[in-house]
Amino acid sequence: MYDRSEHVWDAVLQIRSHAPLVHNITNYVVMNTTANALLAIGASPVMAHAEQEVEDMVNIASALVINIGTLNEEWTKSMFMAARKAKQKGIPVILDPVGAGATPYRTRTARQLLDAVSPSIIRANASETMALVTEGKLTKGVDSTAASDHALDAARILSDQFGSVVCVSGEKDYIIAGKRMIVVGNGHSMMTRVTGLGCTASALCGAFAAVGSDLADSTAYAMAVMGIAGEIAAARAAGPGSMQMQFLDALYGLSFEDIDQHLKLTTVSP
């Protein structure tokens, strides 16, 4: 029987052999580290944001990752152009709505991106996920439900509304696709002390979606690989500085045994 670990490993091998070009329109803070993570897993990163070229770059890319971490008007305009082109071309579009909920501008822009392009995958933390849902739809029942359930409700609403796979990341990662749910239990608390590992997760979702056939599985495999590399790195790290270095080394050196020993991935039947 072909088990889960073998599927994850197969996806890694696909990335390593095809080196899919992942086009990132992302934030300044993480450009270097996400490019390095994509290279470490075996993909080919490119960063390009000028309106004069984003459509041409999408045209040669296998996935588009949009991240609003340091957005402004110029970059947002290019995100819309690139995302529309990617949908038209049929390559996966991953949206990371960094900081949605923190300022009205971020929330508004993230929602406009949702409306305009119905991303293939949305990867966000719990509060960002909730911020993406129009108030009226979610606030019913605030008193009776816990915050984490709340984020899952929001994820289901977003998945239904936009046909997107929604990954709510946190101590556990919940991947919602319509009535399907996959739970990934990998990861390490030290990962929260390294800036941009959430953004890196979104970039890896792009790499896995580029070579995969099922968006929910690809998202789950990307999150599992992130978490496993994080666990391996944390075991070798003395703090967040060495963590960042060990994480790239772990991604690069990832073996079937690493996956098989660490994988915590569960499909929850609807």
Q: Which of 20, 92, 196, 227 binds a second copy (CB under 8 A)?
A: 196
Name the residue with tokens 């101590």. 171
Cα–Cα distance between 112 and 101 in angstroms, integer?
14
- In order of 55, 158, 170, 189, 252, the CA distances from 231 in angstroms are 37, 30, 14, 9, 14
Q: Environment class of residue 21 by beta-carbon count within 10 Å: exposed (0-12), middle (13-18) or buried (19+)?
A: buried
In the list 127, 161, 252, 256, the residue contacting a second copy (rule: CB under 8 A) is 252
Place of tokens 């080919």: 44
> Which value, to the nearest 10 degrees, does the dihedral of the CA atoms of residues 156, 161, 166, 170 take?
-50
Q: Judge whether 196 and 30 are in contact, CB under 8 Å.
A: yes
For residue 39, state whether it binds a second copy (rule: CB under 8 A).
yes
In angstroms, give the least distance from the CB of 46 to a second copy: 7
Least distance from C-beta 1 to a second copy, angstroms? Answer: 32
Residue 78: HSE in the Cβ half-sphere, 13 Å Cα cutoff? 25
Phi-psi map region of 20: left, alpha, beta (phi>0 left; psi -120 to 50 alpha):
beta
Please state the closest distance from residue 76 (CB atom) to a second copy, in A. Answer: 9
Please report, as residue ranges, which positions from 114 to 143 form the binding site for a second copy (by CB under 8 A): none
Using rule CB under 8 A, residue 30 touches a second copy: yes
Measured distance CA(117)–CA(203) in Å, rounded: 18
Candidate segments 8-16, 30-38, 117-125, 214-222, binder of a second copy by CB under 8 A? 30-38
Does position 247 bind a second copy by CB under 8 A?
Answer: yes
Q: How far is CA 207 from CA 45, 188, 228, in A?
A: 9, 22, 16
Q: Which of 99, 54, 108 is nearest to 78 (CA)?
A: 54
- Of the pair 130, 155, the CB lying nearest a second copy is at 130
Segment near a second copy (CB under 8 A); pick from 2-10, 96-104, 168-176, 209-217? 96-104
Decide whether 42 or 92 has the Cβ nearer to a second copy: 42
Check residue 256 for interaction with a second copy (CB under 8 A). no
Region from 80-88, 192-200, 202-210, 216-224 binding a second copy, contact rule CB under 8 A: 192-200
- Restricted to residues 41-80, the positions that interact with a second copy (CB under 8 A) are 45-53, 56-57, 60, 69-74
Smallest gap from residue 59 Cβ to a second copy (A): 8
Q: Which residues bind to a second copy, rule: CB under 8 A? A: 27-33, 35-36, 39-40, 45-53, 56-57, 60, 69-74, 99, 102-106, 192-196, 237-242, 244-253
